[in-house]
């Protein structure tokens, strides 16, 4: 490969030092390009990680709220069960209502999903 405009020794050939410097510059440019690409990838990973952490923290807060709501509901149901025979009829009605509600919801969801 001919190197034009470079220092030449007495016979007109490019010196080894000039060829090594040229190769070094080329490799240095390639390395700089790869480093900038890695930096860009690392910043993208950092942004994605921060976004995922915010999402997980939000889910954690939602689960905590749901746990509190379900815990309170469970305590009320336990209180109704332990209160005696007077509430057994009410518990039967509530249980039948819930079973019917979930059955209807299941049928509606099945109907909606089969249309799609």
Nearest to 26 by CA among 49, 53, 3: 3
Instruction: Give the model confidence (pLDDT) of 22-56 as tens digits.
Output: 999 999 999 999 999 999 999 999 999 999 999 99
Bridge partner residues of 8 (DSSP): 14
- Give Dmax over CA atoms of the chain in angstroms: 115
User: What does pLDDT average to over the chain?
Assistant: 85
Question: What is d(CA 80, CA 56) in angstroms, rounded to the nearest whole number?
Answer: 36
pTM for the structure as a whole: 0.47
Helical packing angle, 16-82 and 88-115, nearest 10°: 140
Length of the chain: 116
């Amino acid at each position: 490969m001919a190197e034009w405009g470079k220092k030449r020794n007495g016979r007109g050939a490019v010196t080894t030092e000039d060829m090594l410097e040229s190769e070094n510059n080329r490799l240095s440019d390639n390395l700089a390009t790869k480093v900038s690409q890695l930096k860009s990838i690392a910043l993208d990973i950092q942004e994605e990680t921060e976004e995922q952490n915010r999402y997980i923290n939000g889910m954690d807060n939602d689960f905590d709220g749901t746990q509190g709501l379900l815990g309170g509901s469970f305590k009320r149901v336990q209180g109704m069960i332990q209160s005696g025979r007077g509430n057994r009829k009410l518990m039967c009605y509530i249980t039948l209502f819930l079973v019917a509600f979930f059955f209807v919801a299941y049928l509606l969801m099945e109907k909606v999903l089969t249309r799609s």
